[in-house]
Every structure is written in C-alpha cells, then in structure tokens.
Amino acid sequence: MPSSVSLALLTALTAVACHGPPPATAGSPERTGAASCKVSQPVCDPRVTDDTALALVRRRCAGCHAEGGKADHPFLDADALSATRGDVALRLAGCEMPPDDTFLAPDERRRLVGWGACVLPAAPAGK
C-alpha cells in the first residue's frame, strides 16, 4: 500500500500531466501568480467554507473558468468546483495557477488551498 506522501506526489504529478506545466513566462512583478508564489504543502483549513471558496473562485477565476472561457474546464458552480476541489488545491499550492497576469492575493491563495486540501490525503506528521 502506498504511503500518503507517495499518494500525494502521484496526485500532484497526475495533475501536472493532465493540465500541462506551469506557464514559462514570469509575468509582472506585482502579480501573485506563478512568478511570485512559493510552492507549499496543501494543508486542510476546515474554517474555509464551500461558499467562501466559490465566491473567491467566481471573483478571481471567472476570466478563464467560466463556461466558454479559455480554460476547457469551467467550474463556477458549486458542483463543478466541488468535483475539482483537490486539483484546485494542488495547482494553487504548486504555483501553477493562476496563469498569465491573473491576480490572486496570497491570502486568497491560502484560503483556496486550505479549502481544497481537506479532500487530499493528509501528509504524515513531521513532513
């Protein structure tokens, strides 16, 4: 049986394989996308509600993730967002999203990662 660390790594690699690598360009200095993001271990924050996460995603991600947007997987409704919850945490924690010059404040990133991480396998203590 694989360890939870192995499972988390496999999940992260699968997300990258399915969605491709992060953008190669760094973007502008004031943006908080991949260029200024620090990769982090997703940790569950049960204080972040589904409603809070949905409001953040609708405010910050609609440019790409709305129906007909440039991302081929819209998730601006509660069911669609819930189905991608773990992937959202991994992609944000891995600094793959948001791309280009899309603004996401560090606090908003932390809240979305904390919300999404609640469905991921927990990392062993001390890791």
* Average pLDDT taken over every residue of the chain: 75
The per-residue pLDDT for 35 is 59
Minimum mean pLDDT range among 5-19, 44-58, 62-76:
5-19
Distance from C-alpha of 101 to C-alpha of 117, rounded to nearest angstrom: 25
Q: Which of 103, 116, 99, 104 is nearest to 42 (CA)?
A: 116
Domain extent listing, the chain: 4-20+31-117
Residue 24 — very low, low, confident or very high, per pLDDT cuts 50/70/90?
very low
What's the pTM value of the predicted model, to 2 decimals?
0.69
Place of tokens 């007909």: 68
The per-residue pLDDT for 2 is 44
Residue 45 — very low, low, confident or very high, per pLDDT cuts 50/70/90?
very high
Specify the higher pLDDT residue, 119 or 29.
119
| pLDDT at residue 37 greater than cutoff 50 | yes
The per-residue pLDDT for 81 is 92
87: enclosing H helix or E strand: helix 85-93
What is the tens place of the pLDDT at every residue in 70-106? Answer: 888 888 999 999 999 999 999 999 999 988 777 889 9
- CA atoms within 13 A of residue 50's CA, in its CB half-sphere: 12
Distance from C-alpha of 79 to C-alpha of 21, rounded to nearest angstrom: 26
| pLDDT at residue 28 greater than cutoff 70 | no
CA 85 to chain centre: 8
